[in-house]
Amino acid sequence: MEQASEILGAALKGTRDSRAASAWLHARWTSLVGKALGARVRPIACARGVLRLEADSSEWKSQAEAMKQQISDRINQSWKGLLVRELRVELKPPERRLAFEVDNNHLPFLRKNAKKP
């Protein structure tokens, strides 16, 4: 699998398309940063040398910010070129809950797809 990702990386690098670089980065993310960080901090955009990351919590945001240089170095080394010049870490926006009047999931007997006995 590692050889396939290297071949894919080389092919994508030749295209000079920012979407190709983002696709490569998403595919390699966990292997570049590790399972723990990769599960809680994700790349959301990579353009013009700026990689934007989204963290699940302020603790993971702080962890990613502390590792900015290490993450950039790993990405650039794996890419075999300068893909990331700057890394920005953002906090994931909180999920919006619908009002009870709109969201009837709190009333299981009113759900459309409720199982019948």
79 found inside a domain: yes
Mean pLDDT over all residues of the chain?
81
How many domains does the chain contain in total? Answer: 1
104 found inside a domain: no
Residue-range definition of the domain harbouring residue 81: 2-91
98 found inside a domain: no
13 found inside a domain: yes
**With 70 as the cut, is the pLDDT of residue 6 above it?**
no
* φ and ψ of 115, to 5 deg: -75, 140
Query: What is the spatial distance between Cα 51 and Cα 88, in angstroms, rounded to a whole number?
Result: 6
Query: What is the spatial distance between Cα 94 and Cα 56, in angstroms, rounded to a whole number?
Result: 9
DSSP-derived 3-state class of residue 76: helix
Band of residue 65 on the pLDDT scale cut at 50, 70, 90: very high
pTM for the model stands at 0.69
What's at 75, amino acid-wise?
I
99 found inside a domain: no
What's the whole-number mean pLDDT along residues 62-74?
Answer: 96
Write the CATH number for 47: 3.30.300
**With 70 as the cut, is the pLDDT of residue 24 above it?**
yes
The closest alpha carbon to 51, from 72, 33, 74, 23, belongs to 72
